[in-house]
Structure 1
Amino acid sequence: MPEIAGPHLDGIKAAWPLAQALERYERTAQHLDSQRHSSMSVDLVLPHCREDLSWLADRDKVEFWPDRMRIFVYEKCGGVAAVPNVTTRGGRRAAGVRA
């Protein structure tokens, strides 16, 4: 902090947890930088009303699901959607959601 020097800087350091704040800022900046270089996440929301959802688990129709993907089946016609056993490469399963 070149703009603050001498006894003023000592007073700020004594009054506020400046070192902890700067460490946390640095950790946050590093975390955000690492996220920028990782793969993006995807949320797939499927509106559903009594249609067959077996294609979700058919590897001939859907070759793969990305690592960071979540699948939500939004049931629009009441009841509970029969969501097939779909697991993404990241280990997440498809989830049924009622309207």
Structure 2
Amino acid sequence: MRYSYVDAQPPHPGEVIRELCLEPLGLSVTAAAQALGVSRKTLSAVLNGKAGISPEMAVRLSIAFNTSSESWLTQQAQYELWHAEQHRNDLRAKKLVAA
């Protein structure tokens, strides 16, 4: 699904991981972190929205959950773009036009 800045806030990918990947499989954060080859602290930061999905994490998630790396990066980009759009009027950017 594509979001624009007027749509509802997209979920952080960590929410998606928790609700659609870990919970249905009955996985703890510790077990999932071990399977992903990352620390519990690293995975917990993602799950709690304190860290984003890096390209490396996207590949790890794609391996673990048989998904595409691109889908994880797209979710992260949509989340970040939505937040950036909320501050559009605060930016000091100006429209450029041909002379």
Decide which structure has the larger Cα Rg and report it. Answer: 1
Higher strand share: 1
Q: Tell me the TM-score normalised to structure 1 length.
A: 0.26
